[in-house]
């Protein structure tokens, strides 16, 4: 993973010097390929971090226990997602609250509203 990241970044810096001699479409395709490779590496690193955290929970004796409710995470969930930190119910609550929060802030930003402007209107 480190080699691919290093190569992608090296090619990007070398490409910056010679991009003027390259056709725009070729430069765009190269940039897209680099971004795709780095994005995939980022996801892989996130997965490795999740696995490392699960191994640490095994060592601590907290594996299979929901970090929010303290309830046991059912066996089927752990088989499907061995690094699960939350029960399905708690995960749904977290995802719903994240979705709602992101949705509201996006709508506010779209219309140029922020917390200060909302307080002034009230």
Tokens of 104: 């509201």
Q: What are the pLDDT digits (tens) for 47-81?
A: 889 999 999 999 999 999 999 999 999 999 999 99
pLDDT above 60 for 110: no
> Distance between CA atoms of 99 and 115, rounded to whole angstroms?
19
Residue 105 CB partners (closer than 8 Å, separation 6+) = none
C-beta of residue 34 within 8 angstroms of C-beta of residue 11: yes
> Distance between CA atoms of 91 and 73, rounded to whole angstroms?
11
> Distance between CA atoms of 63 and 52, rounded to whole angstroms?
12
């Amino acid at each position: 993973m480190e080699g691919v990241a290093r190569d992608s970044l090296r090619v990007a810096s070398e490409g910056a010097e010679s991009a003027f001699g390259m056709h725009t479409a070729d430069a765009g395709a190269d940039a897209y390929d680099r971004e795709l490779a780095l994005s995939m590496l980022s996801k892989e690193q996130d997965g490795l971090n999740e696995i490392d955290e699960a191994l640490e929970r095994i060592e601590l004796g907290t594996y299979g226990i929901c970090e929010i409710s303290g309830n046991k995470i059912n066996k089927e969930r752990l088989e499907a997602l061995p690094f699960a930190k939350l029960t399905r119910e708690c995960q749904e609550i977290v995802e719903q609250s994240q979705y709602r929060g992101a949705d509201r802030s996006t709508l506010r930003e779209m219309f140029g509203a922020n917390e200060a402007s909302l307080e002034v209107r009230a």
